[in-house]
Structure 1
């Protein structure tokens, strides 16, 4: 069974890059165009890991993390932040909200796959 990834990012380019990288590596890829859509489709997808941007319309990445962590069923699913932001304050805020890790854009395919495998224990 493939590891399911839900990527939430308002950039079509980033979603396309993630799709190419993750599908090539054997992951089952799903995406949402903003935080609200990501939280709304989360129960139907039941992902093994979530990747979220921070700066998005409708619901930002911090809101995504807080909403997903607000439900007991979601407390164990790893959430990786993938963003251009890199300030220590934002990283600390994401960690305190419940993020598992932080990856800065532009991402390296191999590093992203390694991080996903590490947080999910998956082979893909």
Structure 2
């Protein structure tokens, strides 16, 4: 399955997402900060999906999206934002800057698994 980088400043969210996606066979890599996430993306070209919190200390969500798009050379790389933000202007700005999907917290594991599956589509090469 896919290598997925999950970035959130909440250890509880990281644990929930890791457990949900690893139960589906995915290799889940976690990070507490945007800066650390960028380093992991540079070091591991096998990452196919980023799941990013939008509101974290340090690097802003929009800048993390922009920097990720500069770093990742894989055209199949997808980016899902997982956030409490539900304002249409914030969501549309993130999508305009490179996010592929937006999911609002709180979420349940089934919703998350479904969203990840939809992002990968029928790409069997993962």
Match of 1:16 in 2: 15
Q: What is the aligned partner in structure 2 of residue 66 from structure 1?
A: 66
The 3-state SS of whatever aligns with 2:73 is: helix
Structure 2 unmatched ranges of 5 or more: none
Q: In the aligned structure 1, how far is the partner of 2:2 from the partner of 2:8?
A: 19
Change (3 A) 1:35 1:72: closer
> In the TM superposition, what are the counterparts of 1:20-59 in structure 2 within 5 Å?
20-46=19-45, 47-59=47-59
- Which segments of 5 or more consecutive residues in structure 1 lack a partner in the other structure? none
72 and 43 in structure 1: CA distance in 2 versus 1, 3 angstrom threshold: closer
How many angstroms apart in 1 are the aligned matches of 2:14 and 2:113? 15
- Cα distance in structure 1, aligned partners of 2:110 and 2:36: 28
Aligned length: 123
Q: Root-mean-square deviation (CA), in Å? A: 1.8
Q: Which moved more, 1:71-80 or 1:36-45?
A: 71-80
**Alignment deviations for residues 29-68 of structure 1 (CA, whole Å, 9 cap, x no partner):** 0011011111111122331110000111121221111001
Q: 1:97 to 1:16 in 2, by over 3 A?
A: same
Normalised TM-score (structure 2)? 0.89
Listed one character per residue, the Cα deviations across residues 72-91 of structure 1 (whole Å, up to 9, x for unaligned) are 61554110000011100110
Segments of 4+ moved more than 4 angstroms = none
